Amino acid sequence: MFKTKQFVDVYDFDLKVELVGVNEYSAVIRWIGPPSPEQKYVSIFRIIYYADDPNSIQDEISLYKISDSFSSPQINITSLYPETQYKLWIEAYLRNGKKIKSNVAEFMTEIVADGDPYAALPSTEDGEGEGSEYYYKIMVAMAIIACFALVAFLILLYFYMHQNITYTVTMNKPSKESKKNGANESTMFGNSGYKRDSLSSGGNVEMNSVHSNINGIN
């Protein structure tokens, strides 16, 4: 008797988002939860946030970050409004095709300080990634995928056209039987021996018929 080990789903992990720092116009957020290395389990992160304010339009804004080992699990969100309440969460698109969602974090941007409206964010450990950089990476990845799809389509089109041309040539090609009959006829009518034999045999038939008629008269 034996007992198998308990199944452990490596993709079943909790994704949590934390606020690192915030000022009047931007905020830095960090997430934890994915096993290391992160890119082995997560393909891309989607950061979603909106202004939870009665005077603001509650349109969701999304930022994307590709999972890799060269950047820290954090992002700098810019172009925020001062003294505004925000709600934010993260969706991780996993390598197994599933998607998980983090907790919802709430924060409020600071009031604009007199004489220093663009106060710097608190420093972080590994630097901060801008949203435009990740948009650029996404566009490059999509362009590469589109190029591969176009090449595959052209290859399939080539084989399809080649097969149709081969089939048409095969349908129009004379069969072996017709070639054989044509060769026999041309050989018969082009062979001088055949004509001589035919004439000589025909002459013998005529002579025999004349002799038989003469004998009949006699």
- The answer to whether the bond into 82 is cis (omega within 30° of 0) is no
DSSP 3-state helix, strand, coil percentages of the chain (rounded to 5)? Answer: 40, 25, 35
Percentage with pLDDT > 70 across the chain = 63
pLDDT digits (tens, 9 = 90+) for 132-154: 565 667 777 788 888 888 888 88
Cα 164 to chain centroid distance, Å, stands at: 26
Between CA 15 and CA 92 the distance in angstroms is 8
Per mean pLDDT, which of 32-46, 47-61, 119-133, 201-215 is the most reliable? 32-46
> Which pLDDT score, from 0 to 100, does residue 122 have?
43
Cα 1 to chain centroid distance, Å, stands at: 47
Does the domain spanning 16-111+119-129 belong to CATH 3.40.50.11720?
no
- Which has more confidence, 149 or 53? 149
> Which pLDDT score, from 0 to 100, does residue 17 have?
95
pTM, full prediction: 0.51
**Is 130 a residue whose pLDDT tops 60?**
no
Strands lying side by side in the sheet with 27-32:
16-22, 27-32, 74-77
pLDDT digits (tens, 9 = 90+) for 159-207: 888 777 766 666 665 555 555 555 555 555 455 554 444 444 444 544 4
Domain segments of the chain as ranges: 16-111+119-129, 130-179
**Is 125 a residue whose pLDDT tops 80?**
no
**Is 126 a residue whose pLDDT tops 60?**
no
